[in-house]
Amino acid sequence: MSEPELLTIACDESASEGENLMGSKHPVFVHASVNITTDAASEFMATLRAATKTQARELKSKIALAPRNRAALLEVLGSLDNQGNILLVDKSYFVAAKMIDLLVDELAHEYGVEVGLSGLGRQLADYLHQRGATAIGVTRWHTLLNSYNSVIRSYYRADAAPPTVEVFFEALEDALRNCCDVHVAQILGDIWRAREFTREYEGASPSVLRELDPMAPSITAASMTWQMRIGEVPFEFLADNYSGLSEEVCKAIVEAARAPLSVGGVELPRADLRAVRLVDSKFDVRVQVADILAGVGREVALLAANGVIDDQLQTVVHEMLDFNVLASSGSAIDRLVESRPLRYVEEWSARLGSM
């Protein structure tokens, strides 16, 4: 029996500012991807271009999202349905989760389990992100996350005087002294006891770091969702040129997407991802469609942050939302995704149950 044809899934992002998560303009990183042919993508863009009457060489999401173009945008988005995927990442949650992942996991021998793979890491990150600002004060909370972001981001390694861990240690100690939540204090205490591991990042090269760039983990997470959408089909990701996606990183993404993985004893779907290729979006209309979808993802996340989860734009793209929510449970993003069932998840669960 011959192997199924290799699918090309085009992707792009919105609100990416590398590892500068806490100092970024946009609070949510969006990774969007589309399983669409070149002909279908050309038709999608031609329809949108005609409706918006734009003369720009590349029709970007900002134009498509203009109020006067809303009707046309809703119509073309409706044609995608299950052919699109939108993964949302709360940047501040991502930083808080990294503190758990890179520090508390070092104390795994005390917990008796691997913090990340047991599901405990998610629980700790959720609680810390949900209660942190209230427990230690908004200013201290932002100072803590900013200081940790500064220490382990590789961008600063080009500076003459990169930040030291002492700034993070001071912010962490201040947070502990002024914490009014016993459970937050316990998590911060674990981070404090593991704080010396942060020193490993001082002076590290950019190729070793990039821990805080959400691009690679987002692509890896999206690959799992695409396996649920398309089944046991080999595919590749075609991404717009991005400096953080080196050959080494792309190879690591493929390996991570294919490797068996279980969290809390639950086996997660693994993707038959074969490659991550880069291309200039100007020369591939499929990536241009992904760019539009990424911009839409940022808009629906912004609406959710303002308490809206039933806007027409959110409704038309709901089936495209990735069930992998890189945000705390109960957050605006989480409520948006959980606001109604995702058909592809239910269908995947039914297929799994029939095996």
Is position 277 within any domain? no
Is position 290 within any domain? no
What is the model's pTM? 0.92
42-55 tens-digit pLDDT:
999 999 999 888 87
Is position 273 within any domain? no
Selected residue with higher pLDDT from 215 and 2: 215
Q: Is the pLDDT of residue 337 over 50?
A: yes
Structure tokens at 101: 């992942």
| pLDDT interval class at 204 (50, 70, 90) | low
Q: How many Å apart are CA 223 and CA 273, to the nearest integer?
A: 7
Asked whether residue 45 falls in the same domain as residue 155, the answer is no
| HSE toward the beta carbon, residue 334, CA cutoff 13 A | 10
Structure tokens at 223: 């690959």
**Number of domains within the chain:** 2
- Residues 21 and 94: beta-carbon distance below 8 Å: yes
- Residues 13 and 30: beta-carbon distance below 8 Å: yes
Q: How many Å apart are CA 155 and CA 186, to the nearest integer?
A: 31
Is position 147 within any domain? yes
What residues does 273 pair with on adjacent strands? 235
What pLDDT does 61 receive?
Answer: 87
Is position 161 within any domain? yes
Asked whether residue 167 falls in the same domain as residue 239, the answer is no
| pLDDT interval class at 197 (50, 70, 90) | confident
Q: Is 236 helix (H, G, I), strand (E, B) or coil?
A: strand
List the Cα angle 4/9/11 in 5-degree steps.
Answer: 165
Q: Is 181 helix (H, G, I), strand (E, B) or coil?
A: coil
Is position 207 within any domain? no
Asked whether residue 144 falls in the same domain as residue 51, the answer is no
Asked whether residue 152 falls in the same domain as residue 167, the answer is yes
Q: How many Å apart are CA 54 and CA 69, to the nearest integer?
A: 11
Range of the domain at 117: 91-201
Asked whether residue 49 falls in the same domain as residue 184, the answer is no
Asked whether residue 103 falls in the same domain as residue 224, the answer is no
Q: Which residues of 105-133 are buried (b: 16+ CB within 10 A; e: fewer)?
A: bbebeeeeeebbebbbbbebbbbbbbbbb
Is position 291 within any domain? no
Mean pLDDT of the chain: 89
The separation between the first and the last C-alpha atoms of the chain, rounded to the nearest angstrom, is: 21
290-300 tens-digit pLDDT:
999 999 999 99
Q: Is the pLDDT of residue 160 over 50?
A: no
Q: How many Å apart are CA 325 and CA 334, to the nearest integer?
A: 6
List of residues 6+ apart from 120 with CB closer than 8 A: 111, 113
Asked whether residue 102 falls in the same domain as residue 86, the answer is no
Asked whether residue 155 falls in the same domain as residue 64, the answer is no
Asked whether residue 178 falls in the same domain as residue 228, the answer is no
253-290 tens-digit pLDDT:
999 999 887 666 667 788 999 999 999 999 999 999 99
Asked whether residue 146 falls in the same domain as residue 41, the answer is no
What pLDDT does 102 receive?
Answer: 84
What pLDDT does 3 receive?
Answer: 73
Asked whether residue 38 falls in the same domain as residue 143, the answer is no
Q: Is the pLDDT of residue 234 over 90?
A: yes
Structure tokens at 219: 């692509």
Is position 286 within any domain? no
Asked whether residue 40 falls in the same domain as residue 121, the answer is no
